[in-house]
Amino acid sequence: MAIFEGICTALITPLTERGVDYEKLGKLIDWQIEQGVDAICICGTTGEASTLSDKEHKDTIAFAVDRAARRIPIIAGTGANETAYAIELTRFAAEAGADAGLVVTPYYNKTTQKGLVRHYSEVADCSDMPIILYNVPGRTGLNIEPATYLALSKHGNIAAIKEAGGNVSKIAETMALIGDSMTLYSGNDDQIVPLMALGAKGCISVLSNVMPAGAHELTRRALAGDFAGALELQLRWLPLINALFSEVNPIPVKAAMAAMGWCENFLRGPLYPMEDATRLLAEMRAAGIDF
């Protein structure tokens, strides 16, 4: 069973100099649900999890679970470059009531492919909560190979893949190996349609921060088999997607959400506010986003 089908927003974390703005976060979660998203990912890359303190990370997961109140699944970012800490975060998220844990590959110190199997197996063993493998080699320097996906697919708690590697040929090879033993989700907004054509059930998305209803509609069309209709939206919004990744994520999406009034344009170093948001704001207006 898929954890969700459609669009899951990789949600920003509204931050100020004082910490997490839980009032803004609560309103943002409510708005996303009202706009029709199928799930929310909290404390992921877009949520600046790597610069949250341990307390902030755990408090934000618990807050999101409570605020969503089972209206949609909450996927909690629980990955780390230390296996023991990934286990600690995953146990916490499971006890807090999260529906799944998103576990990024270890970064900086990295590991081998055999090390990945051991790392993910130990994390998945620590609770009954489903685990989503998160492959984003552009940020971590480590790629999950198709044979490694196959090995991990045999673990009962490893349920899905968020694939942001960008190599469609490798993803096709993976799908040929794993069949329906794990659910595939796109981790790149510019590859939603290609990956759904390969069998993905949706996307864990940055785009849906700023246009949740539109991103949901794109995936709904693909899930219904209307790939021509989904492609029309994919190509129409490609300039906006590219603008949202014109600087390191989440710098542009924070600027966009601040323009929409959802947060301050505040990031924690070494990320800093967007140098020039002119193009981004123009693409938002061209896509019909009001702010």
pLDDT digits (tens, 9 = 90+) for 84-120: 999 999 999 999 999 999 999 999 999 999 999 999 9
Q: Structure pTM?
A: 0.97
Which pLDDT score, from 0 to 100, does residue 25 have?
98
Question: Is the N-terminal amide bond of 250 cis, ω within 30° of 0?
Answer: yes
Identity of the residue numbered 51: T
User: In which element (H, E) is residue 83 found?
Assistant: helix 83-96
**pLDDT over 90 at 1, yes or no:** no
Range of the domain at 188: 6-224
pLDDT digits (tens, 9 = 90+) for 268-286: 999 999 999 999 999 999 9
188 assigned to some structural domain? yes
57 assigned to some structural domain? yes
Q: Which residues are catalytic?
A: 134, 162
List the structure tokens of 177: 């190996």
241 assigned to some structural domain? no
Smallest CA-to-CA distance from 73 within 152, 157, 2 is with 2
Domain of 110: which CATH number? 3.20.20.70
List the structure tokens of 153: 């697919």
List the structure tokens of 137: 């080699």
What is the total count of domains within the chain?
Answer: 1
| Phi, psi values for residue 287, rounded to 5° | -85, 0
160 assigned to some structural domain? yes
